[in-house]
Every structure is written in C-alpha cells, then in structure tokens.
Amino acid sequence: MSIILNGIGVSHGIAIGNAYIYVRASTEATEYNVPASYHPKEIERLHQAIKEASTQLNEIKSRIAADTPEDILGFIDSHLLMLEDPAFDEGAAAIIREFSCNAEWALQVQCDRLVQVFDEMDDPYLRTRKDDVIHVVQRIQHCLAEKPESKAEPVKLKGRIVISDDLTPADTLMMQHQKVAAFVTEFGGPLSHTAILARNLGIPAIVGVHNARQLIHPTEQLIIDGHYGVVIGEPDPRSLTHYRKLRQKDTVRKQRLNRLINKPAVTKDGVHILIQGNIDRPEDIRNLKQHDNTGVGLYRTEMMFLKDNQTLDEEAQFKTYKRALFRLKGKPLTIRTLDLGADKEIQESLGQGPMAHNPAMGLRAIRRCLKEPENFLPQICAIMRVAAYGDVKMMIPMMTSIHELDQVSALLENAKQLLRQRKVRFNDKIEIGAMIEVPAAALSADIFAQRMDFLSIGTNDLIQYTLAIDRIDDEVNYLYNPLHPAVLQLVKITIDAGKKAKVPVSMCGEMASDPKYTRLLLGMGLNYFSVQANAILEIKHIINNSNMGKLHTKVRKIMNCHDLNKIESLVDTLNT
C-alpha cells in the first residue's frame, strides 16, 4: 500500500528510484572524570582528533570531481576553516581544565554553547549555520572514538533516493559524485547546506520529513516531488505513470528555459526589463553566469566578514570587490554596504554588550555603520576605489530618514578627501542608492528619490516590519504574506516615487525571485529585478510572455482591493 509523507521541497524536480537509508554511527558523548594530572594528555587527544577530522575532509575534497565548481567546494572549505577556529580547540580544552572531564564531553558542552549563540540569531541563513557546528563536532567525536565514519561509498548509490536524518556538505557532495537521484532528510530547512547544495547541483530534495527513516523501508520504490515536498512510498502504477509524465514535462521545460540563457527579457509589448543576480561572494558569479550573462544587483558584503569572523581592512575588501567586478567582465556590480548587527555578529564584537532583545529592530545595517565610522570608512573607500575600474554602484541598507542620508553623504565626502590625499585612483561620481526596507523609508521614497541615484526594495524586511511579525518564528510566520494590501501599497509608493523622479527602482528581496509575483510586479511598474541565480530563467520566461500594458489595468484592480483572500485569487488569475 502506498504511503504519502510531506516535507519542505527545497530543490525542485521529480525523482523515481529505490530508497537507501543512510545511517551514521552514533556520536553521543558520555561524561567521566579526568584527573588534573591527565589534562594535558586529554587535551592532546582532542588536538589529534581535530587534526584527523581535517585530514578526512581534505581527503574527501580530493576525491570530488575536478570540474566541481569552486563555490560548491566552498562548503567543505567552510568546515575546514571551522576546524581551525579556537572555539573548538581552545574552548573545549578550557572546559577539560575547568571541569576535569573527558574530551568528548567537553566538546559536546562547547557545541551546545555555540549552537545556543546561533539559535539566538535573527537572520534565518545564519541561524541554520548551527548545523555546520553540529556536523563538525560529530566528525571530531567520531575521531575521538576512533570509529570510521559511515560512508556511502561501498554501496552503489546511482539512481537511489537517499533517506537520512541530516546530511553534511561532505556527505552530499560524495553522494552527488555517485549520481544519487534525490535526497530526503528528517531535519533541515530551505537554507540548510543540504538544501543549498541540492539546488546548486540540480538534485531534487525534500527536508523536514519527520521519522522518514522509520516509515520508509530500505530499497522500497519512492517518488520524490521536490516542488511540493511530497514523498510517495510504494507508488501504484497510476501514480508512477503520472509522475513519469511530469518528470518528462519538467525535463522539456528546463530545456526550453535554457534557450533563454543570455537572451533579453522583453515583454510582448516591447518593454525591456533588466534582470540581475544576488550574490554573497565573488565565487557566486560562476553560478550566476550559468543562468545568464548579467550583472549583480545585490552583493551582500557582510557575508565576507562573517565568513572570516572578523573585520577586514580596506585593502582586503578592495581586492575582493575587484575580483567580483573582473569576473563580471564588464557587467554592472551593485555593492551593498555592511548589514551587520546584533543578529549577525563577528567574533571580535561578541561579548561587547548585552544581546539585543529584538535584534531585527536593533543596531544593524546603516545604523551600525554610522555608529562605527572607523569600520564604515574603509568599506566606502574600497568601493569607490573599485568603481574606478568598471560599472560599480554603492547601496546603503535599511535607510529610515534623511538625517541618516546626510550623515552618509558627509562620510562619503570624508572618504573622497582621504583618497585624494593618498593620491589613490577612485571614482568620485559613483552612483549611490538606498534600500527601502522599512515602512518609514517607503513613505519617504519621494524624498529619497530626489537625493539618490537609484532605489532598491528589500521585501524580506519590508514585509516583516510592515506586518510586525518575525518571518522565522514558527508561531507567527504564517502571517508573513507579500500580498498584504499594506505591503503592496508601500511597494507601489516606492516604484511611483522613482518614476516621478526618473530614478531607477529595483527589487532585490525574495518577492522578486518568486515567479508567483512577477506579473504583479510588472503591472505595478517594476522594470528592474535582482533575483537568485536559479530563478532568472523562470522570471525571464514569464516576462517574455507578458503584456505590460494589459497588466497595468489588471493590477490596478488588485491595488484597489483590501480583502487578502480576494487579492490572492486575483493574483492567481493574473498568472493563469
């Protein structure tokens, strides 16, 4: 009899194959007393285990296909860097000395402490990075126990659907090397490494399927629908026929979308729309170019600081931005200044004050930069310097008032004077834009448009601030809805303000990457999209099959509606 399990579809596509239950050995730590005279030997055990874990990861990295993109290899590199972090080595060693306990227990205590820090973060991407801590600790624990890590290599996994509690980046890459058909995990979310890697590698994946290993029998036939997050066990012939047809349609659709690579986005009535990509680091440009030869509408620079867990000087930033610009080969690069804050902290800032009660409302983004000009000025200088080598724009996040804009302008002039004194090449006419992410900024968009070279709508924060809900809080995130009338009005106000001032307005939040809202945004007058790389072709396909003039009329009806259910119905009709 067939069973149907539901989870979160994180990588679209349909797979049909036999299950493989992947179980790694338990790494539960037990505590026992270690006399003070044995502390040095116990700490040396810990050091050797960390060293062995690093050796294992480097061995796995060497076995991965040579043509694997460097941005994908970066997931293993992040674990290698974590193994060098004093948080594991010195932190656990200090616990051994303080509590006279064994290395396994000390490492588990340190792991719990680090996980708690990540759990308190507001940013959903950073919050899920606690998984990296857990994966690295598990690998070290295996080495402490001198147990060989469970490997999928001896089993022929080609065409199999892997079922696991969770997968490390190393697991995922090694299984992809063996050409698995799909992944299903009991834990994880859309921003977990398994999800990100599966999307990048083009492998259907579903996460959050609770108790999957107990409910699915080894080798039983499965259907995986990565779009809707559905797992079907022991499917009947009718289901198999249906999903085989869907898989064939999906293959044909991808082939058709691939024909749009490097083609322009033009509506049926001849309106040219600019689609650019969002990146976190220069290496992401390789993935962007696989989808389209376009520019970058959002470069999130704080990820570089968080990766290295420290502030970077002007020269280090300049070299990184320059590398990104040169990889774009003449295409534009929009660099967002730091969006660090209480929820996205680097090591040297931790412990310098109490944790904010509501980090999303606290000292972050431009507020943080204006309070710490000693860190903000080097970034401004680095961006203006790289702007001398190509089409580079600077974007300021979370602007709320003209007073902040005046402070930014003063710092920009200060940076220009410093660079002139140093006789360094830079672009003193670099275009400066503001991100519209809070209701106050949207309601003041006409004033910002008169002072800025461009505006960009950050919908992720705009929606949560407008609706007063935390989008990652399970208790209230069902209220997070881009179609709320208040959200739509703020977006429209911003777009109209840009048009009136003849200033470009783009959108770089998740709303821009969701095909469900493309026609709605076109009808509202949006001409510039900055989206996730893997959404570019789908968004372009919708644009090329839309008539912007007709959409304006239909969207006007949506904007005059105040019933959320009716708005959703009208948007569905718009997309039919």
Phi and psi at residue 125, in whole multiples of 5°? -65, -50
User: Cα 220 vs. chain centroid, distance in angstroms?
Assistant: 34
| 454-457 vs 431-436, strand pairing mode | parallel
Find the catalytic residue in 142, 193, 291, 541: 193
DSSP letter at 472 equals T
CA angle 555, 453, 284 (to 5 degrees): 80
Among 101, 111, 381, 508, which one carries the catalytic annotation?
A: 508
What is the residue whose two structure tokens read 């700490």? 43
Amino acid code (one letter) for 374? E
Is 508 annotated as catalytic? Answer: yes
**Tokens at residue 248, please?**
């064939």
Spatial CA neighbour of 436 closest among 409, 414, 466, 458: 458
Phi, psi of 177 (to 5 degrees): -60, -30
450's tokens? 């008169």
For tokens 């070290």, the residue is 140
Q: How many residues in the chain?
A: 576
Beta strand segments in 356-514, E? 392-396, 431-436, 454-457, 505-507
Q: How far apart are CA 166 and CA 197, in angstroms?
A: 13
CA pair distance 347, 342, nearest whole angstrom? 12
**Cα dist from 32 to 29, 92, 103, 109, 318, whole Å:** 10, 15, 9, 13, 50
User: Which residues are within 8 A (CB) of 542 and not within 5 positions of it... i.e. 6 or more apart?
Assistant: 515, 518, 519
User: Which one-letter DSSP state was computed for residue 512?
Assistant: H
Give the whole-angstrom CA distance, residue 541 versus residue 416.
43
Name the DSSP class of 25.
Answer: P
Per the DSSP assignment, residues forming a β-bridge with 392 are 333
Q: Is 101 a catalytic residue?
A: no
Measured CA distances, 10 to 106, 123, 213, 465, 531 (Å): 35, 18, 19, 26, 17
3-state secondary structure 356-381: CCCHHHCCCHHHHHHHCHHHHHHHHH
CA 204, 210, 212, 213: dihedral to nearest 10 degrees?
120
Backbone angles phi, psi at 431, to 5 degrees: -75, 135
Active-site annotation, residues: 193, 508
